[in-house]
Amino acid sequence: MRDFPSCFGENGVQVADSSSSSSSSAAKAAQNMVSCVYQCRLHGRVCLISVTWTKNLMGQGLSVVINDSANHCLCKADIKPWLFSKRKGSKHLEVDCGKIDICWDLSNAKFGTGPEPVEGYYLAVAFEQEMVLFLGDLKMEAIKKVDTSVDSDSGAVFIAKREHIVGKRFYGVKTRFCDKGRTHDMVIECDTVDLKDPCLVIRIDSKTVRQVKRLKWKFRGNHTILVDGLQVEVFWDVHNWLFGDAMGNAVFMFQTCLSAEKLCGNQSVFDPSVLTWSYSQKFRDHQARSPVFCLILYAWKHE
């Protein structure tokens, strides 16, 4: 199966089909990458800012891509890991409508198990000295760096995230299902080793929200759950776990508000081939009008 919808634009991670050759190093690189997408306003126009955090033996890396509502890249900035001996700095980029400043300070950042910082940092994107996107907990430092006197909400909305998780039987992640929603503990449980009838279980805050038995017959599917009063459509594809090679990964997507039926028509059987470029284009078009949230998880088995 190909990658789930590329709602992260060209900055997304491409995961190969199970028939493709994949190396251990490539899999490990994918597992150390987190991409987040934010809907912002740039000079009065809707834009999407993709922030990708990476981690390897050289250190932390960072990429910022700014696309317009038609998904055309306006500018891109890569902060390479080997430049992180000085873990703070800025980049100034010229676009058609003005100047964009990207500033960051990770010198005292604290990280969890993944490449995304959790505290002690800031990342700021400004257009003509007006804050467009702010991430982190050092807002006053970011305001001074951007050289703006306005301490207000940038108005950015968190709309999508792509993350890689690793486990043997349990795959855990902290997530929220809307921009200002509370954080939940989500666990995906699936034991496929030497079992004739594997079972898939998804739990949120220790509560089972979906259980799939006879998984070899239902290795792809979708189901609607309710979280924080929101309808969340859950898609899964565990084909590689059951029938792929040792480096295969399962893919899960959690999407609020926008149902698959509205995009794909009334289908009695979930068809993962629908989740391709055309699907993601409709997803982006809808985001430009009314932001929803989409979480894509790649679950890698660690034997």
d(C-alpha 87, C-alpha 105), whole Å: 6
Could you read off the pLDDT tens digit of each residue along the chain, which spans 303 residues? 334 434 433 333 333 333 344 445 555 666 688 999 999 988 778 899 999 999 888 888 899 999 987 778 888 999 887 766 678 889 998 887 788 999 999 999 998 878 899 999 999 999 888 899 999 999 899 888 887 766 666 788 999 999 998 888 999 998 888 877 788 999 999 987 777 888 999 999 999 999 999 999 999 999 999 988 888 999 999 999 988 766 678 999 999 865 444 444 433 333 443 333 334 444 445 444 455 889 999 999 876
User: Domain locations in the chain?
Assistant: 36-155, 161-301
Q: What is the end-to-end Cα distance of the chain in Å, rounded?
A: 22
| Secondary structure letter of residue 98 according to DSSP | E
d(C-alpha 79, C-alpha 282), whole Å: 31
Long-range contacts from 247-250, C-beta under 8 angstroms, 24+ separation: 247/22, 247/23, 247/24, 247/27, 247/300, 248/18, 248/301, 249/15, 249/27, 249/164, 249/298, 249/299, 249/300, 249/301, 250/190, 250/298, 250/299
List the 230-237 sheet strands across, edge first. 73-79, 59-68, 45-56, 33-42, 157-167, 294-301, 249-256, 230-237, 220-227
**Cβ neighbours of 213 (radius 10 Å):** 11
